[in-house]
Amino acid sequence: MRKILSSPNGVAGVILLAIVMIAALLGPWIAPYDPQLFHSQNRLEGPSLDHWLGTDQYGRDLLSRILNGAPATVLFGLGATALGVGVGSIIGVIAGVAGGRADGVIMRILDGMLAMPELLFTLLIVTFLGGGTLQALLAVAVAFTPGMARIARSSVLSVRTREYVLAARARGESRAWIVVREVLPNAIGPIIVEATIRVSFAIMIGATLGFLGLGAQPPSTEWGLMVSEARQFMFRNPWGVIIPGIAIAMTAMGFNLFGDALRDAFDPKRSH
Amino acid sequence: MSFLTLKRRHVLIGMAATAALPNLSFAQSSGPVSGGTLKISHSTRIATLNPLILSGPAEYPCIDMIYSRLTRIGFDSQPQPDLAESWEASPDATEFTFHLREGVTFHDGSPLTADDVVATYEAILNPDVPSSATSVLDMIESVEAVDDLTVRFSLAAPFADFPYSTAHSNACIISRAALGDLTALETQANGTGPFKLETYDSARIVRMVKNEDYFVEGRPYLDAVEMMLFPDLAAETANFLSGATDVMLTVQQADYERIAASAGIEAQRVNSGRYVCVVMRQDAEPWNDVRVRRAFSMAVDRQLMVDIILEGLGRPAYDSIVAPELEYATEKPEISYDPEGARALLAEAGYPDGLSLTLVASDRPAIRSQTAIVMQQTAAAAGFDLEIETMPHDTYLANVWMQGPFYIGYWGMQPTIDATYNLLLTSDAAYQDSEWKNDAFDALIEAGRSTTDEAERARIYSEAQALELEDRPYIVPFFEDVLTASSTETHNWQVAPISRYFYIENVWLDG
């Protein structure tokens, strides 16, 4: 942790993440108003004392909506990443450990999937599965899988020929034991770093899908959806677009900077 | 603001006049000028040009330009002569004779005869040919060509509104030859209208050019009309405001004020009978109890909806699908927002603790989910705990529409009270989705069809509307205005309240 805090990027990341996490954990309870409540006399207003971040087209309080949408947005990012990283890592480790022909077949298939840009691939899956939060989450997870598998595999490959693995093999340990006790603990670092950075991508893709109408549906407080709904009123109250936009950017940046700092901390070569 | 451009134009005209004297008389004549290409922007795809079945908001102006009908609804909501110069009805309203114009030709040069009219109506009545006009024309028993220019319709039952039915937007007259290939109708067109189809590209542009042989002397003024698709509303608005397009077919409520205030733009707001309704299927609990329906009706804040959803560009409606513009429409008593009263009525109906329900709204157009969101808020105080389920339009059409117990419907305006009721509320209506079946109501609508006596019809329809209000088959919260805009260089651009008739042959552009 001290290593992370030693770089300005890391500090910024930790602060941003802390804000987002507080919002995600406590948001719905500290919101000043019901996020769905209309204040029809104060529609499309900028920040004021009553409404710190202004109101949307129905006169709903933007601060309350942002806070209310925080858990869903962060959970979406974490959930999609966890699923994608989990499945990807398992595939990658299997390929890396098995080697030879199995490795070749698995990796060529994944390379094929990697050839398609992540967002396009996600859109394709969502079109296939239909819109909705859960579908969007699955789509992001699936899109993340090939890339994660690749990283997990390379990480395993670099560990596989180390002396302690050879020693374990010479001791006659079983293959499963070697994977679980020797390979995984030493290969997990890069995977965790990559996963942290990917959370920010997951949140951005989730917001993109919400914006395109393929993720969460009204009256949800998902941030991408909020931007999309407010877009029509952009010329009358730009805050409706700016506020959720900043929220998405803060969250994505927080995870990204934190992930970068985490990587530096894990990498001895960069830690001087 | 448009005042400013007018001045600027006058200055330009003045400058041109000093530069060249002969221009003076030309510039000052304010009459229509021929020539020019009118560019109309729209945001919904023109997916087909088949006049028998199309129903898209941007598809209607296309067939209104390409084809003609026997009659056409004017801006006064009355049927006007189109291909038929005149018509007469037998006193009992069972036989109608239409006299066609002489010398009308299709775009390919072949003459229009009574036989083409017969062929068109036979296709519309043919159960194997999908056709949207069937529901208002199915009382036709036979149609025959008396001579080359006379068509006679015999009706199975008296139907006084028949000239409205022949003006149905999908009752375009197609040549007998063209009807032989229904798939070709989707992309090709051979009509008798003021414009001929030149390019059809459903993803980009539909271009129509002047029909030099149009049957109205001196029309159209324009050389060509281009229907340009802008899937993105912001892009459409930006193009229109910058002058890249001349007409914006539909303006969104949120943008109306801004567009109307822009220089060189004339925005129009037309009161219309387009409405959102709440479908409450009445063959099951809780909606089979009229008290629950009435309670929900009182739990809807109509003025708030007009203010928030329509930005004030509409009128509150009071649970009748009959627009005030229609003939025989009665004045509806105001229903005020009364959550306490609604709660009391709910308790009386056996729901003292309120009701928890799921209200389904399709995601297109956005007005459906907006209505649901506002209803959720206002109905909460009355004991209705609504959960909103928004879903893609296709899923909605497949799984909820005409089946679900509680959802948001959205309908355009119909030309007559008879067509309005026969679309949704009579027992055998084309889209009867409320399961509200009332014999007395059916009998009244039947009686209204069969008499030509104005006073008698007024009495019958006022009774039918009273019955509708008594039973509340639908909650109708508001009527939406039709919004459109054109540049000040565009003259005579108008949209009829029913937004199916445009009379673009009368539009002209400053030279």
- Inter-chain CB proximity B252 and A36 less than 8 Å: no
pLDDT tens digits for chain A (272 residues)?
677 788 888 899 999 999 999 999 998 889 999 998 999 888 888 899 899 999 998 999 999 999 999 998 899 999 999 999 999 999 998 898 888 898 999 999 999 988 888 888 898 888 888 778 899 999 999 999 999 999 999 988 888 888 988 899 899 888 888 888 888 888 888 888 889 989 999 999 999 998 888 888 888 899 999 998 898 888 889 999 999 999 999 999 999 999 888 888 877 665 44
Domain boundaries, chain A: 2-34+47-271
| CATH fold for domain A2-34+47-271 | MetI-like fold (1.10.3720)
High-pLDDT (> 90) share of chain B, %: 68
Q: CA angle, B176 as apex, B175 and B178 as ends, to 5°? A: 65
Query: Is the whole-model pTM more than 0.90?
Result: no
How distant is the Cα of B361 from the closest Cα of chain A, in angstroms?
10
Q: Which long-range CB contacts under 8 A does B86-94 form with residues at least 24 apart?
A: B87/B163, B89/B160, B89/B162, B89/B452, B91/B452, B92/B158, B92/B450, B92/B452, B93/B155, B93/B158, B93/B159, B93/B160, B93/B162, B93/B450, B93/B451, B93/B452, B94/B154, B94/B155, B94/B157, B94/B158, B94/B159
CB contact under 8 A, A232 and B255: yes
- A-interface mutation test, from B373, B375, B376, B397, most A Cβ less than 10 A away: B373
> pLDDT tier at B353 (50, 70, 90 boundaries)?
very high
Between CA B332 and CA B326 the distance in angstroms is 13
Q: Check pLDDT > 60 for residue B29.
A: no
User: What local confidence, expressed as pLDDT, does residue A6 receive?
Assistant: 82
Question: B24 pLDDT exceeds 50?
Answer: no
pLDDT for A213 equals 81
Which range has highest mean pLDDT (A180-184, B138-142, B222-226)? B222-226
d(CA B224, CA B214): 14
Mind telling me how many Å the CA of A61 is from chain B's nearest CA?
A: 14
Average pLDDT, chain B: 89
At residue B414, the pLDDT reads 87
**Structure confidence at residue A269 (pLDDT):** 63
From the CA of A131, how many Å to the nearest CA of chain B? 7
The shortest CB-CB distance from A36 to any of B233, B252, B377 is to B377
Interface test with A, best of B252, B262, B377, B387 (most A CBs within 10 A): B377
- State the nearest Cα–Cα gap between B363 and chain A, in angstroms: 8
Contact residues, chain A to chain B, C-beta under 8 Å: 36-38, 40, 43, 57-59, 130-131, 213, 217-219, 231-236
Give residue A1's pLDDT. 67
Q: Which member of B255, B258, B388 has the closest CB to residue A219? A: B388
Query: Would you list which residues of chain B are within 8 Å, Cβ to Cβ, of chain A?
Result: 233-234, 252, 254-255, 258, 304, 307-308, 363, 369-370, 373-374, 376-377, 388-392, 395
Domains of chain B with CATH codes = 6-211+489-509 (3.90.76.10), 271-480 (3.10.105.10)
pLDDT tens-digit series, residues B250-284:
998 888 999 999 999 999 999 999 999 999 999 98
Q: Tens digits of per-residue pLDDT, B61-116?
A: 999 999 999 999 988 888 999 999 999 998 888 899 999 999 999 999 999 999 99
What is the predicted pLDDT for the residue at A9?
A: 87
The band of B394, judged by pLDDT with boundaries at 50, 70 and 90, is confident
Q: What is the pLDDT of residue B18?
A: 41
pLDDT of residue B182 exceeding 90, the answer is no
Q: Which of A38, A130, A232 sits opposite B377 (nearest CB)?
A: A38
Alpha carbon distances (Å) from B313 to B58, B254, B480: 21, 10, 7
* pLDDT band (50, 70, 90) for residue B480: very high
